Amino acid sequence: MTPHQFLELSDAISDPMFLLTGDGRIQAANRTAIKLLGTPAEDLQDQYLDRFVENPQRQLREYLRLCSGSKQPLVGHLTLKYRDSERKPYRCDGAVLQPATSDAPALICLHCIPRQNSNIHFVMLNRKIDELNHEIMQHQRAEEKIRKLNAELEQRIDARTAELRNAYQELESFSYSVSHDLRSPLRSINGFSQLLLEDYFDQLDDTARSYLQRVCEGANRMGQLIDEILEFSRVGRCELRKQAISFTDLSREIVQQLRNQEPDREVETAIADGVHGEGDLHLLHIVLENLLNNAWKYTGKVEHARIEFGELTKDQQKVYYVKDNGAGFDMRYMDKLFGAFQRLHSATEFEGNGIGLATVQRVIQRHGGRVWAESAPDHGATFYFTL
């Protein structure tokens, strides 16, 4: 191999490479080696590699002698001295490219691979120059394959993004339909039922009045369900606007609203001071409102009701919680707890549509956190969430 052929191959490699005679004189060096040593290529010609190596001269020459006399490439180690006085240890793959003849000395290809640990013992390798060339070709083919895979992945992402965009548009259309088209007939049902009860009350018997009352209650429940479905869909689509939030103030405000709605109820509340977080104020208000509403609702049949809000640290992460001593639930049904329209108590026991906790989970997931619960029947429940 000529120095020119060596350079054509070695300049494509990011590690230092040298073409040496058997006694250690440099015949050629690739671009990486020239840059690291800080010596022009013409000044390197016929220079002994000893000049740029920190290792003992005897050790380097012994290594080159072994390379010259071996049909198998050898691995050793040396420390190159850079132009900026830095020292860096390398593992060296030395292979004979051209055996010595009467007319020309042996030529050795020295490939230097960076190593953090310079304490490397000599081992035998079988690496020839055509194998190096083959590795380069394999590397180029692998890079081309990666480029093609990345291009295919980008196309799939674009297609998937378009599908999601269409799905969101369909969801918005559905939400619009629910909001406008379904509310109108519900208002009519509820309105005319109320008129019948008010204007024809004396003409209706008890059974007819009971039927009409049930129609009104059903229409009202349907309206509430529509509101919750719309809120659930908006939670997944609205843009997050993060800010610092006082969960203490927010919780006390929600609890006061609950007290105003049921002034006759006596509920002990313990809201921890100084609980703060960061997130979307509107969405996290929905989270606390749902959790505290549930705690208020499920303690409705407890003589000495108690609701607690606070924070703790678990696995070096801040965890917020809402705890009550109410009805609780069986942990065997935990997988249903955060599903939409899933209820662990009948509507006759506790009112609700089973979508509040699904909304809570969606909000928390959008904030990169998680939500879970611990409970037992008749022993209350504690809901935890992180952000």
* pLDDT tens per residue across span 107-152: 888 888 876 544 433 333 334 445 555 666 777 788 888 888 888 8
- Residue 372 and residue 288 share a domain: yes
Residue 77's Cβ-count burial label (10 Å; 0-12, 13-18, 19+) is: buried
Domain boundary, last residue among 127, 151, 172: 127
Looking at residues 185-211, what average pLDDT do you find?
86
User: Between residues 376 and 57, which one has the greater pLDDT?
Assistant: 376
- Residue 380 and residue 276 share a domain: yes
Q: Per-residue pLDDT tens for 112-123? A: 887 654 443 333
Total structural domains in the chain? 3
Q: Which residues pair with 91 in a beta bridge?
A: 77, 113
Residue with structure tokens 């939409």?
340
- Locate all alpha helices (DSSP H) within the chain, ordered by sequence: 3-10, 31-37, 41-44, 57-68, 129-177, 183-199, 206-235, 247-261, 281-298, 356-366
Asked whether residue 372 carries a pLDDT value surpassing 90, the answer given is yes
- Residue 159 and residue 271 share a domain: no
Asked whether residue 197 carries a pLDDT value surpassing 70, the answer given is yes
Q: Per-residue pLDDT tens for 316-371? A: 899 999 999 998 888 887 877 887 656 555 555 556 556 788 889 989 998 999 99
The answer to the question of residue 137 being in a domain is: no
- Locate all alpha helices (DSSP H) within 11-73, ordered by sequence: 31-37, 41-44, 57-68
Tell me, what's the pLDDT at 178? Answer: 66
- Residue 160 and residue 206 share a domain: yes
User: Which segment of 29-33, 124-128, 269-273, 281-285 scores lowest on mean pLDDT?
Assistant: 124-128
- Residue 282 and residue 220 share a domain: no
Tell me, what's the pLDDT at 1? Answer: 59
CATH number of residue 329's parent domain:
3.30.565.10
Tell me, what's the pLDDT at 354? Answer: 64
Asked whether residue 279 carries a pLDDT value surpassing 80, the answer given is yes
Tell me, what's the pLDDT at 291? Answer: 94
- Residue 146 and residue 161 share a domain: yes
Tell me, what's the pLDDT at 39? Answer: 87
The answer to the question of residue 311 being in a domain is: yes
CATH number of residue 118's parent domain:
3.30.450.20
- Residue 231 and residue 325 share a domain: no
- Residue 210 and residue 158 share a domain: yes
Domain boundary, last residue among 235, 250, 283: 235
Tell me, what's the pLDDT at 181? Answer: 73
Domain boundary, last residue among 209, 235, 261: 235
The answer to the question of residue 136 being in a domain is: no
Query: In this prediction, what percent of the chain has a pLDDT beyond 70?
Result: 86
The count of C-alpha atoms lying within 13 angstroms of the C-alpha of 243, restricted to the half-sphere facing its C-beta, is 9
Tell me, what's the pLDDT at 103? Answer: 74
Tell me how far apart the alpha carbons of residues 159 and 153 are, in angstroms, rounded to a whole number.
Answer: 10
Tell me how far apart the alpha carbons of residues 359 and 238 are, in angstroms, rounded to a whole number.
Answer: 13
Residue 337 CA, chain-centre distance (Å), reads 24
Asked whether residue 199 carries a pLDDT value surpassing 60, the answer given is yes
SS3 content of the chain, % helix, strand, coil (to 5): 50, 20, 30
Query: Are 87 and 81 spatial neighbours (Cβ–Cβ below 8 Å)?
Result: yes
- Residue 377 and residue 262 share a domain: yes
- Residue 203 and residue 253 share a domain: no
pTM summary value: 0.50
- Closest of 47, 57, 43, 56 to residue 20, by C-alpha: 47
Domain containing 341 equals 242-385
The answer to the question of residue 71 being in a domain is: yes
Instruction: Give the mean pLDDT of the chain.
Output: 82
Tell me, what's the pLDDT at 315? Answer: 86
Tell me, what's the pLDDT at 83? Answer: 76
- Closest of 94, 91, 95 to residue 119, by C-alpha: 91
The answer to the question of residue 39 being in a domain is: yes
- Residue 181 and residue 46 share a domain: no
The count of C-alpha atoms lying within 13 angstroms of the C-alpha of 340, restricted to the half-sphere facing its C-beta, is 9
Query: Are 383 and 371 spatial neighbours (Cβ–Cβ below 8 Å)?
Result: yes
The answer to the question of residue 344 being in a domain is: yes
Tell me, what's the pLDDT at 120? Answer: 37
Query: Are 307 and 266 spatial neighbours (Cβ–Cβ below 8 Å)?
Result: no
- Residue 165 and residue 98 share a domain: no
pLDDT interval class at 87 (50, 70, 90):
confident
- Closest of 337, 342, 385, 338 to residue 364, by C-alpha: 385
Q: Per-residue pLDDT tens for 152-195? A: 898 888 888 888 877 777 776 776 666 667 777 888 888 888 88
The answer to the question of residue 133 being in a domain is: no
The answer to the question of residue 296 being in a domain is: yes
